[in-house]
Structure 1
Amino acid sequence: MSRLSTMQLPAETWIPASWDEYLQMLDDLVDEKAKTYYNKGHLRIEMSPIGNDHASDHSILIYAINLFAAIKEIDLNGKDNCTYRRVGVREVQPDVSFYIGETADSVPWGTGIVDLDQYPPPNLVIEVANTSLEDDKGNKRLLYEELGVDEYWIVDVSNVELLAFTIENQGSRRIRQSQVLPGLEISLLEQAFQRTRIMNHGKVSAWLLTQFRNRE
């Protein structure tokens, strides 16, 4: 796969490719702001610019989860756009991911790409979907099922909705309360997203703090 053909690859679609071709593509895109995925002989590139709406939901969600964990005294380590790799088979770069509880400290400081043959997958993976919703609900959900994460969330930016799935035995089902963050209601996070449409994050953060404390 030459540099020219790599630069001409269509974005936001799954393309047949070997693992070596995928690695070459990563070298060619080293200066580009792109998210990349690989799953058993197919690659995907996402190069859409990150706009205000996507970035805002991304930001408040990270704050909400960290705040909830702090109040509930849950051990947790969050990753923003971290790359997880199972050499030759799969690679993912979710918008947000978390190691929670007993696995919170699984990946030591100084680690680059997280080798899933050496470290466990994150407990919670989140994709913020503005232009990628159908793939996030379809192929990526299947990918994360096979990867063995415990929970997968999709933020539907346009519809102000949070789709949460628990994953067991390489399958998934919808949930309305997190199992990896016990007591965290999905509806409460959706309310927070709704509030960000009419007020700033400082006010929404104060509201979240009150809501979490009232539920102790």
Structure 2
Amino acid sequence: MHPFPFKLYLVISEEACAGRSLLWVAEQAVRGGVDVVQLREKHKTTAAFTETARQLKALLDTYNVPLIINDKIKVAMAVNAAGLHVGNNDLPPKEVKRLWPECQHLGWSVEYLEQLDSEQMQYVNHLGVSPVFNTVTKTDTVTEWGLSGIEKIRSLTDVPLVAIGNMNAANARAVIKAGADCIAVVSAICAAADPKLAAMEILKQIENHD
């Protein structure tokens, strides 16, 4: 198992960047404290997704920030990403590790408590608690976990928890206190007028959660 030592996790797509350059938004976010980035492109061809991933990885490598790819194992392997994030309708974690044993950071979205008893858990490096609060950026989810849901999941597993779903500076502290290890952000950084400042403000809440 590889540790998941990250605090602020950016989930980025071209669509989420409000008309700005994805690479610019990503760099500003990293300069503000984002320490891991996931590229999620649901509507691009594999070739276009791979090209964006290559460009993003080249940028992130200069900051020593790992890149995680959403769902598409072919893209992740093609660009030598640090990891892959999969949901319940994607490739199962066991199959990911079979096809790509070098995957360092394999995340799996938790939508049901029953998943914590699955054999898939032995292949997972971290769990995406999705969504903590319902959000317009992801509408195909099942459970809105809330703070009590994070507390419940935390009581049942020691696997690192990445909280995603309408996360921002106003709720990050409470979510970390509830048991999350890391906060994943989409709109609160990608659509912010100043992504660097937005990242700094959220990171401050994560680090001052006591």
Q: TM-score, normalised by structure 1?
A: 0.31
Structure with max Cα Rg: 1
**Greater share of strand:** 1
**Greater share of helix:** 2
Q: TM-score, normalised by structure 2?
A: 0.31
